[in-house]
Structure 1
Amino acid sequence: MREWTFLTNHAHVLLCVVRDPHARLRDVAEQVGITERAAQRIVADLVEAGYLERDREGRRNRYQLHAELPLRHPMEHDTAIGELMAVVAGVGRDTVA
C-alpha cells in the first residue's frame, strides 16, 4: 500500500509557518520531510499567490498569513485559508488571522 496523506506539502509548510512565524526553512523542511530547496519553492509559491507575506527581521524571515483569502479549488472556494489552518492547527481562527 502506498504512503499518502490528506494534506499536501504546501499545506504542511503553511501549517509550520502559521505555528511558528519565525521558523527557519531548514526546520520546516525537516518537519515536513522535504528538502530545504523544496520548502523554499513552496514558500515562494505561497508568497506569489498572496497567502503568505514574508518580512525580513534581522537575519530571519517572519511570515504572516493572509487568513481571509479563499482556498484555491472551486469546491473549497467558500472557505478561507485561515479557517482551514485553525482547524488543522487546533487553534481559534483569530489565532491564525
Structure 2
Amino acid sequence: MEPVEPRTSWTFVTQHARILAMILRDPEIRVRDLATECRLTERATQAIVTDLETAGYLTRERHGRRNHYEVTPGTLFRHPAEGRHEIAQLLRLLVDLDRVAETDPRPAGDDGDRHERPPPG
C-alpha cells in the first residue's frame, strides 16, 4: 500500500482565532507583527482584524500612532455546533500555550521522547 499524502495543509486553529489570541495577549501589537507570527501578508492580516472588529469580537482605538485593541468579553463561537460557548476559554488556552512555548527550551515541534517513533522494520 502506497503512503497517503495529506489532502491539504490545514490546521486546527484558524488564523482568526490565532490573531484574536495574539491581540488578547498584547493589545498594542502591530499588524506587521501579527502578520509575521501568522505567516500571512499584512493585507490578509488587516482583513482578519477587520472581520473580527466587524463581528464584534474586538474593538480598536487609536492611541497616538498605534492601535490599541480590546477583545470583547462574552463573545460566542460563530458555528452553531459551538455557538452556545464563549470563545474566552479557547483564547486563554492559546495564550497559555504561547507562554509555555516561550519558557520551553526545546525547539518548536520537539516533543522529547514521549512521541518518538519506533525504528522502521
TM-score by length of 2: 0.71
Unaligned runs of 5+ in 1: 92-97
Shift in Å at residue 53 of structure 1?
0.4
* Cα displacement string for residues 44-78 of structure 1 (whole angstroms, at most 9, x for unaligned residues): 00000000000110000011001201110001112
Structure 1 residue ranges, 4+ long, deviating more than 3 angstroms after superposition:
none
* Cα displacement string for residues 9-56 of structure 1 (whole angstroms, at most 9, x for unaligned residues): 111111111111000000000000100000100000000000000011
Higher helix share: 1
For 2:44 and 2:90, the matched residues in 1 are separated by: 22
Unaligned runs of 5+ in 2: 1-5, 98-121
For 1:7 and 1:74, the matched residues in 2 are separated by: 17
Match of 1:94?
none
For 2:40 and 2:53, the matched residues in 1 are separated by: 19
For 1:30 and 1:15, the matched residues in 2 are separated by: 15
TM-score by length of 1: 0.87
Query: Within the alignment, does 1:41 sit opposite 2:47 as a pair?
Result: yes
In our comparison, the structure showing a higher alpha carbon Rg is 2
Aligned length: 91
Matching residue within 85, 88, 92 for 1:86: 92
Matching residue within 13, 16, 28 for 1:7: 13
Shift in Å at residue 80 of structure 1?
0.7
- The percent of aligned pairs where both chains have the same amino acid is 44
Query: Within the alignment, does 1:70 sit opposite 2:76 as a pair?
Result: yes
Shift in Å at residue 82 of structure 1?
1.3
